[in-house]
C-alpha cells in the first residue's frame, strides 16, 4: 500500500549527501505534508463524527463526552510520547542508511510499547468510575462519561500500536499508508457508530420502508465504535509495517525482540520530556475543564464541540509538523545541518500559511460547523462565538506546532516541553481563571487565544536563534 512516487528518490538525495535545489526541497516537503495533513484531518473527523452523532442525542450526551475528553487526550498524549521515543531513533538511523539497527529498534519498540500501554490502560480503567465526579461533572452525565472513558482505556493498547506503526512508516518517508488507513478508520467509525449509537429504526428510502438494526447504546456505542475502528486499523498498519515496508519489514528475517538498555535509554531521553509535558499540559486542560464545568451543561457542550471543530483547522499544522519531523530527522541522521535548517524554515512557513487560511475558514464557517454537530441552538450560538475568537490565534498556533515538530526531529524535546508548559500554565490558566467569572466561556477562549499567540512567538524566537542545531 506504499505509494510509489518521487518522494523516495528525493529522500535518497538527503541520505546520500547529494545537493538539492530549492525546488526539490519544496517538492519533498509538500509531498510528505499533504498525506500527513490528510491523515491528521481524518483522525479529527472521527472525533467530529462522534460528536455530531452523539450531539443528536442531546446536550447531556455531548457534555458527558466533553467532560472526559481532556483526560482521554492526556492518556493519548502519553502514548504519542512513548511511540515518538522510538520512531525518532529510526528516522535518524534511516537517514544514515543503517537499516539493520533501524529494524532492531522497531522490534524492541513493539515489545516495550505493549508493556507500557497495558500498564497505562490498567491505571485508566481503575480511575474511570470516580473520574467524572473528580472533574466536577453533574450527576446526570457521570455514568455515560465514565463508560466512555473506560472503553477508551480498554482500547488504548490498539491505539498505542497504531501510533507506533504510523510513526515508523512516516519516519521511512511513507506518509501515504498511514494517511489512507486513517481515512479508512474514519469510515469504519461512521459505520460502527451508525449501528451502535442509535436504536433499531425504520426509515423511508425512495418510498420504501427499510428497517435498520441498531444497538441503541448512545454514548457507550460511540466509544465502542471508535475502539473497534482503532483495533482494525492497528492490525492493518502493523501488517504494512512489518511485512511490506522496504526499509523496516521484519517479518521475514530473524532478530531479537528483547529490549536493550541502549534502545530504552535513547527512547527515554526523547520520550520522557514529551511525556511529562503531555501529562502537565493535559493536566492544564483538565484544569480548564474544571474552570468550564461550573458554567453549566450548555457551556461544557459548547466547549467540547468548539474544541472538536477547531481541531479541523489546526490538524493541517500537525500534518506539516509530522513531515518536518521526518525531514529534519533524516537530515540530522545524514549529518546535513544546512539541509536541516532549510527544511525547518520551509516547513514552518508552509504551516503558518496553511493554518492562516484555515483560520479564515473557521471564522466564516463557525455557525455552520457548530450546526452540524448539535441541534441545540444555545450550544450552537455559544460555540460559534468562541470559535471566532480562536480563529485569530491560528497562524501563531501553527508556528508553535511545526517548530515543535522540527525540534522533535532533532531529538530536542526537553526545552520545547518546558516552553509549552510555562506558556499554558502561566498564561492560559491564569487568564482563564481571571476572565471566566465575568465573561463565561468566552473569557476562557480569549485566554486560550492570547496564550497560543504568545507560545508561537517564543517558539519562533528559539527556532531562529538556531541553538537547537548545535
Q: What is the pLDDT along the chain (470 residues), one digit of tens a residue?
A: 444 444 556 767 777 677 788 888 888 888 777 777 776 677 666 666 666 777 777 778 877 887 887 788 788 888 988 999 999 999 889 988 899 999 999 999 999 999 999 999 999 999 999 999 988 888 888 999 999 999 999 999 999 999 999 999 988 888 889 888 988 988 898 889 889 988 887 777 677 778 888 888 988 998 999 899 999 999 999 999 999 998 899 987 888 999 999 999 999 998 888 888 777 777 777 787 788 878 888 888 888 788 878 877 888 888 888 888 888 888 888 888 888 899 999 999 999 999 999 999 999 999 998 888 778 888 889 999 999 999 999 999 999 999 999 998 888 888 898 898 889 888 998 999 899 888 989 999 999 999 999 999 999 999 999 888 87
Give CA–CA dist 38/180, Å, rounded: 8
Radius of gyration, CA atoms only, the chain: 22
Q: At which residue does the C-alpha cell 541522521 appear?
A: 333
Q: Determine the pLDDT at residue 232.
A: 96
Q: Is 91 in contact with 330 (CB distance < 8 Å)?
A: yes
The number of residues in the chain equals 470
Q: Determine the pLDDT at residue 455.
A: 95
Q: Determine the pLDDT at residue 1.
A: 44
Q: Determine the pLDDT at residue 105.
A: 96
Q: Determine the pLDDT at residue 244.
A: 92
Amino acid at each position: 500500500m506504499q505509494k510509489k512516487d518521487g518522494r523516495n528518490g528525493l529522500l535518497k538525495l538527503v541520505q546520500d549527501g547529494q545537493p538539492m535545489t530549492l525546488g526539490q526541497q519544496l517538492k519533498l516537503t509538500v509531498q510528505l505534508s499533504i498525506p500527513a495533513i490528510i491523515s491528521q484531518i481524518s483522525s479529527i473527523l472521527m472525533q467530529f463524527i462522534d460528536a455530531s452523532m452523539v450531539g443528536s442525542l442531546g446536550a447531556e450526551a455531548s457534555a458527558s463526552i466533553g467532560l472526559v475528553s481532556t483526560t482521554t487526550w492526556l492518556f493519548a498524549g502519553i502514548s504519542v510520547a512513548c511511540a515518538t521515543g522510538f520512531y525518532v531513533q529510526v528516522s535518524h538511523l534511516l537517514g544514515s542508511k543503517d537499516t539493520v539497527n533501524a529494524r532492531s529498534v522497531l522490534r524492541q519498540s513493539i515489545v516495550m510499547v505493549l508493556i507500557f500501554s497495558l500498564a497505562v490502560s490498567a491505571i485508566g480503567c481503575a480511575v474511570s468510575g470516580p473520574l467524572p465526579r473528580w472533574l466536577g461533572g453533574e450527576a446526570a452525565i457521570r455514568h455515560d462519561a465514565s463508560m466512555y472513558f473506560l472503553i477508551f482505556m480498554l482500547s488504548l493498547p490498539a491505539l498505542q500500536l497504531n501510533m507506533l506503526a504510523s510513526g515508523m512508516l512516516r519516519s521511512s518517508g511513507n506518509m501515504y499508508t498511514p494517511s489512507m488507513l486513517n481515512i479508512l478508520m474514519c469510515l469504519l467509525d461512521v459505520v460502527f457508530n451508525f449501528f451502535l449509537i442509535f436504536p433499531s429504526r425504520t426509515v423511508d428510502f425512495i418510498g420504501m420502508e427499510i428497517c435498520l438494526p441498531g444497538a441503541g447504546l448512545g454514548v457507550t456505542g460511540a466509544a465502542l465504535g471508535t475502539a473497534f475502528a482503532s483495533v482494525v486499523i492497528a492490525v492493518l498498519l502493523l501488517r504494512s509495517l512489518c511485512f511490506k515496508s522496504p526499509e523496516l519489514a521484519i517479518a521475514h528475517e530473524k532478530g531479537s525482540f528483547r529490549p536493550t538498555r541502549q534502545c530504552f535509554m535513547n527512547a527515554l531521553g526523547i520520550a520522557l520530556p514529551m511525556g511529562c509535558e503531555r501529562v502537565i499540559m493535559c493536566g492544564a486542560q483538565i484544569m480548564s475543564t474544571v474552570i468550564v464545568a461550573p458554567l453549566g451543561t450548555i457551556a461544557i457542550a459548547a466547549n467540547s464541540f468548539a474544541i472538536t471543530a477547531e481541531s479541523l483547522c489546526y490538524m493541517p499544522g500537525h500534518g506539516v509538523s509530522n513531515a518536518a519531523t521526518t525531514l529534519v530527522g533524516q537530515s540530522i541522521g545524514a549529518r546535513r545541518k544546512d539541509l536541516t535548517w532549510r527544511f525547518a524554515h520551509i516547513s514552518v512557513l508552509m504551516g503558518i500559511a496553511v493554518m492562516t487560511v484555515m483560520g479564515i475558514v473557521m471564522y466564516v464557517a463557525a455557525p455552520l460547523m457548530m450546526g452540524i454537530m448539535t441541534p441545540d441552538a444555545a450550544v450552537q450560538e455559544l460555540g460559534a462565538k468562541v470559535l471566532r475568537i480562536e480563529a485569530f490565534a491560528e497562524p501563531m498556533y501553527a508556528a508553535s506546532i511545526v517548530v515543535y515538530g522540527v525540534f522533535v526531529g532533532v531529538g530536542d524535546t526537553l526545552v520545547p516541553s518546558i516552553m509549552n508548559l510555562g506558556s499554558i500554565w502561566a498564561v492560559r490558566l491564569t487568564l482563564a481563571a481571571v476572565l471566566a467569572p465575568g465573561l463565561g466561556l468566552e473569557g476562557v477562549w480569549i485566554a486560550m487565544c492570547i496564550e497560543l499567540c504568545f507560545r508561537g512567538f517564543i517558539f519562533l524566537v528559539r527556532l531562529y536563534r538556531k541553538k537547537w542545531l548545535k
